[in-house]
Structure 1
Amino acid sequence: MDRRVEILVEERSMEEFLKGFLPRILPDGFSLGFNCFIHAHEGKQHLMKMLPNRLRAYQYYPLEVFLIVIHDQDSADCLEVKARIQKIISENAPRLPHLIRIACRELENWYIGDLAAVEQLYPASKSAKLSKKAKFRNPDLLTGSDELKMMTKEFSKISCARKIASIIQIDGNKSVSFGHFVSGIRRILGR
């Protein structure tokens, strides 16, 4: 295959989640470590600082590169974060096929979108029954890591990311930003 996927994320927990999750949705011909690579950074600032250099380098790859940038929203405005990343890409690699996805508010909100998976991972949390509560109807409005810490004392960002990746629902997740992430990956890679 003459295509390569470069995925830039801001932290290790997203990298760990993607290592377990992406093999479930990548189309035939794409494989982690072969032609699909995840690069974790040391936070948002580090990702944004490194982005221009990476973009310039991708223009000289002998293969067609697809870039995927995943950034947490946190307390910022989603559209502003996406526009800032888009501006950097436009200035440094305007012809590079790319996908920008914002995790609203953070990666852990994607888990809250599938409380049955959270309960499967942490049975004592009894979190599946929470899905009927109004608060959890739109998980993208919550602070996912705080909610998970309240559900279980066992929660750890890295451990949870590794374990939930294989059980989280691909379709039917209540997190709209997770749905946009999945549909975007499928669209850009042709699945």
Structure 2
Amino acid sequence: MEEYTHIEILIEDRSGGILVEQIMNKYVMDKDNITYRIHSFKGIGKIPLNVKSMSQVKTQRLLTDLPMYLKGMSLSLEKMPGKKAIFVILDSDDEDCVKLKTDLVQMYLTLQVSIQAYFCLAIEEMEAWLLGDSEALLKAYPMAKRPLLQRYIQDSIVGTWEYLADIIYKGGLQTLKRNASSYHEIGMFKCECAKNIGKWLDIRNNESKSFNYFIEKLDDFCGNST
């Protein structure tokens, strides 16, 4: 009997959750006995200074609440049969990626949780994963500005969601900002991009190194050598 595998995924915002759900749907399509659950937060927050005495009040900020979730999920997952893991996915933004990853691993070790955790950083933002598959992007948005897309340097620090908006939004980023009355509408635009482009993503053919790292860690955990 094939071993049961379950993955809990923590991600910093709704658009990221939409994208990862589409990725995971594709990932498990040809696999048996793999289940997953996605938890979307409302922002990034900061790792608490003292993770062992963290507050029990949820802030809905990923890093702020992360110690609480890692401890709670670990206790819950321990009772489940089979293989279990927690994946934490977040934007690196303008943070030092090496330091952020080191801080996350140190927090995990300090908490002494029993369940394996993987920390996956999208460089600079998860929109880089959408830009990593130009074929999928053009299927979703045939009128996209191809010269601008071709000039994009993968996983570069350029203001990734803004760059994506310039490529696909009619009139570009400045028009989007004029048309958006609040950041909520910017968030809706990001969700739309995640849904529309994510539908077409080829998860085995993406130019983003940070995307491929996520897939590689899924393979490592799930035992897929594809």
Task: Specify if TM > 0.5.
Answer: yes
> Which residue does 1:53 correspond to in 2?
68
Contact 1:55 1:93 (C-alpha < 8 Å) held by counterparts: no
Q: Which runs of 4+ in 1 moved over 3 A?
A: 129-133, 139-142
Contact 1:119 1:126 (C-alpha < 8 Å) held by counterparts: no
SS in 2 for 1:66: strand
Change (3 A) 1:8 1:153: same
- Equivalent position to 1:17, from 8, 16, 19: 19
Q: Which amino acid aligns with 1:149?
A: A
Could you tell which deviates more after superposition, 88-97 or 72-81? 88-97
- TM-score normalised by L of structure 1: 0.87
Which runs of 5 or more structure 2 residues have no equivalent in the other structure? 46-60, 171-175, 177-188
Could you tell which deviates more after superposition, 148-157 or 19-28? 148-157
Cα separation, 1, equivalents of 2:73 and 2:43: 21
Confirm whether residue 112 of structure 1 aligns to residue 145 of structure 2: no
> Which residue does 2:32 correspond to in 1?
28
- What percentage of aligned pairs have identical amino acids? 24
| Structure 1 position 94, deviation (Å) | 4.0
Change (3 A) 1:131 1:59: closer
- TM-score normalised by L of structure 2: 0.74
Contact 2:89 2:120 (C-alpha < 8 Å) held by counterparts: yes
Cα separation, 1, equivalents of 2:155 and 2:38: 25
Cα separation, 1, equivalents of 2:94 and 2:144: 27
SS in 1 for 2:202: coil
> Which residue does 1:178 correspond to in 2?
211
Confirm whether residue 66 of structure 1 aligns to residue 82 of structure 2: no
Cα separation, 2, equivalents of 1:118 and 1:22: 18
| Structure 1 position 172, deviation (Å) | 2.8
Cα separation, 2, equivalents of 1:82 and 1:28: 31
Mapping of 1:1-191 within 5 angstroms? 2-26=4-28, 27-31=31-35, 36-45=36-45, 46-61=61-76, 62-63=79-80, 65-127=84-146, 130=148, 132-133=150-151, 136-153=152-169, 156-191=189-224
Aligned CA RMSD, in angstroms, stands at 2.0
SS in 2 for 1:53: helix
Q: Which has the larger radius of gyration?
A: 2
Higher relative contact order (CA 8 A, sep 6+): 1
Contact 1:114 1:168 (C-alpha < 8 Å) held by counterparts: yes
Cα separation, 2, equivalents of 1:96 and 1:3: 13
| Structure 1 position 121, deviation (Å) | 1.0
Which runs of 5 or more structure 1 residues have no equivalent in the other structure? none
Q: Which amino acid aligns with 1:173?
A: N
Cα separation, 2, equivalents of 1:93 and 1:189: 23
| Structure 1 position 167, deviation (Å) | 0.8
Q: Which amino acid aligns with 1:98?
A: A
Cα separation, 1, equivalents of 2:112 and 2:88: 14
Cα separation, 1, equivalents of 2:197 and 2:168: 14
| Structure 1 position 130, deviation (Å) | 4.8
Aligned length: 184
Contact 1:70 1:101 (C-alpha < 8 Å) held by counterparts: yes
| Structure 1 position 80, deviation (Å) | 1.3
Residue by residue, what CA displacement relative to the aligned partner does 1:21-46 show, whole Å, maximum 9, x if unpaired?
Answer: 11111342113xxxx11111111111
